[in-house]
Chain A
Amino acid sequence: MARAVSTRRKITFTVIAWVIGIAIFFPILWTILTSFKTEGEAIASPPSFLFFDWTLENYTTVQERSNYFLHFWNSVVISLGSTVLGLIIAIPAAWSMAFVPGKRTKDVLMWMLSTKMLPPVGVLIPIYLLFRDAGLLDTRTGLVVVLTLMNLPIIVWMLYTYFREIPGEILEAARMDGAGLREEIIYILTPMAVPGIASTLLLNVILAWNEAFWTLNLTAANAAPLTAFIASYSSPEGLFYAKLSAASTMAIAPILILGWFSQKQLVRGLTFGAVK
């Protein structure tokens, strides 16, 4: 799609894109800056942007007061665990829906999506009670299960869309070439679907990492991931902006780094099909 764009239009669009980009990123940038201020400077008016006394004191306080690495590890286990479990369930489901669709396949897909329209708080009490009785409250297993269930519709939908892009004739060619179902899946389908599976995995790790409703409501101390770690700095002790910012920065840093390194893969996966 080579299109002649005048220099003026290019400049206009570049400026607009930068303004929007900065506006979206600004809160995160501000959080990071605030995390290096003292509490006094954090609430100073007018706020100083770069010229303040940079300090790491918030980070040491936060690490002394709560165990960052425990929460970090919980986040890793919960987000990776729920995504991998979700993929294991969703890959065969999406495969069958994409390659051997039945009369009701479309309905099943719509129904799965419709479950995402229900506000989660509507099922909080039943799930809370089930978890209490099953002894799953404040356990990582419990959170892995609940986040798998919450994200499953999205995982199945994404994979279904990717698999649909794979021409059925290629699978048939493999069958003609002597491949059984197992070989067909291992040598043809999976390698062809790798970009799609990878971006599904990345997106769901990010969603699960940032999930705050279930993680806050179903954990106390042991299984609490980083979302709960941030929340613990917001209310009970009043407003300590600088420490809250330090906690937030520590919580989002891993996912920001992951996102940064995988952005190519993520974008390629999400636009798969749109740009052949």
Chain B
Amino acid sequence: MSAITLKNVTKRFGDVTVIPGIDLSIEDGEFVVFVGPSGCGKSTLLRLIAGLEDVSAGVIDIDGADVTGTAPAKRGLAMVFQSYALYPHMSVAGNIGFPLRMAGESKEAIDKKVRAAAATLNLTDYLHRKPRELSGGQRQRVAIGRAIVREPKGFLFDEPLSNLDAALRVNMRLELSELHAQLKTTMIYVTHDQVEAMTMADKIVVLNRGHIEQVGSPLTLYNKPDNLFVAGFIGSPKMNFLGPTYAKEHGAATVGVRPEHIKISKESGLIKGTAGVAEHLGSDTFVHVHVAPDQMITVRTSGDSVLRHGDTVWLTPDEDRLHRFDAQGKAIR
């Protein structure tokens, strides 16, 4: 049980304001993902919650208690770092057991809990090894083991999967979701990868230049983005933004439409274009259509599409699924 609340949390490094003031509440047991482009302040925000950085202003509450000035060790949160940050001079068992040792638990208790954690993470055969003798995925597991072993109030993850190869990343993503389902502990997960955010989160917090663009469930962000930034950031392939003439017809400054909401035809339609590269995924095909010298629209079509590079095609956006934005980039609803 641990709800985390941020009230006007602000961070400055010298004269540079990295986080101008964030209000956010995270419910007990939620899996929250902070997502945003590189350098937007995700790690800084996570480190403020961890206590590794001091806030310049504002208040952080955990379970209703003000922890703004509390040392990281006393906040009861565990963190998994991007670099894993394992202790190179300790064995796997030493690493996983370290938090328990710091908590002053007995040797037998530590041993038992380390074994249990190692068993869940498939590390039993490696307990005596040093971190440098492990693969990337195993190091990742050790870092997770070190975090879960003392049953913290909440977990903080800073891009934990970004050093793994693609296949392993998908695996670990599932394992982390599974872990959350088992432990039901609050987790805050930082990533720049919107796919990770979409697949894992209960709640996504989209950050941009240190402020929150939108908070919501993955599907809310996907179907009802509040602004242009969220619309362009969430979704893969990205939302298409149509020309100003088309936007004006629909009473907006910008109009966006997702690749799956455009019909593509070789006979007739609203917008004429030339088929470019087609990406065949088997289940779907993404066709990149050139509609103007500097404009490309991505369309999702069936897996058995037979469009060829250079074919003339016609596109028709689904009028009911348009996303309209005003001149300030705010969604018009």
Contact = CB atoms under 8 A, between A and B. Distances in A.
Interface of A: 167, 169-170, 172-180, 183, 187-188, 191-192
B72 A170 contact: no
Main secondary structure of the interface of A (DSSP, over half): helix
A170 B143 CA distance: 11
Given A179-B102, A180-B73, A174 B52 contact: no
A175 B81 contact: no
A167 B98 contact: no
B99 interface: yes
Interface string B46-85: 0000101000000000000000000111000111010101
Contacts of A174: 87, 98
A275 to B, nearest CB: 14
Contacts, number: 57
B300 interface: no
Residue among A178, A188, A191 with max Cβ neighbours from chain B (10 Å): A178
A178 B99 contact: yes
Given A167-B83, A170-B87, A188-B87, A176 B102 contact: no
B89 A173 contact: no
Contact of A177 (B52, B83, B88, B146): B146
Interface of B: 50, 52, 71-73, 77-79, 81, 83, 85-89, 98-99, 102-103, 146, 150
B53 to A, nearest CB: 10
Contact of B52 (A175, A179, A187): A175
A183 B81 contact: no
Contact of A183 (B72, B86, B102, B146): B102
B88 A192 contact: yes
B72 A176 contact: yes
Contacts of B150: 177-178
Contacts of B73: 175-180
Q: Which 6 A-B pairs have the closest CB atoms?
A: A178-B102, A173-B85, A177-B99, A169-B85, A176-B79, A178-B73
